[in-house]
Amino acid sequence: NSGQYFAIDANTGETQWLSEPRVAENAAVVRAGNLWFALDTEARLSVARANPKQMDVLKRYTVAQSATWAPPVLSGQRLFIKDLNSISLWTLN
């Protein structure tokens, strides 16, 4: 079941939920307010609402043509994505 997203209660260490297995080989997750931005190595960006009961994905985007190993960088209404060959800028609305 590797490659799962999950939530853990920081106080108890108890797993709150697990996503389906093999969603991604690797992912970098950044929180901004009540949203999570998860960028996996296949250049898929998942935008999810923070939810202690389930993975609440609002949207998914393909954001690059090659692998993405670096975490997404948020700056105001901008999102920077680094793939193997370039850095792209996305604007959030």
pLDDT digits (tens, 9 = 90+) for 31-51: 999 999 999 999 999 999 988
Within a 13 Å sphere around the CA of 57, how many CA atoms are in the beta-carbon half?
Answer: 13
Q: Can you tell me which residue has the tokens 């093999």?
A: 22
pTM of the entire predicted model: 0.85
pLDDT category of residue 28 using cuts at 50, 70 and 90: very high
Give residue-wise pLDDT tens across range 58-72. Answer: 999 999 999 999 999
pLDDT for the residue 15: 94
Pairwise CA distance, residues 85 & 59, whole Å? 25
- Please give the pLDDT value at position 23: 78
Query: Which pLDDT score, from 0 to 100, does residue 3 have?
Result: 81
CB neighbour burial string for 5-28, b if at least 16 within 10 angstroms, e if fewer: bebeeeeeeeeeeebeeebbeebe
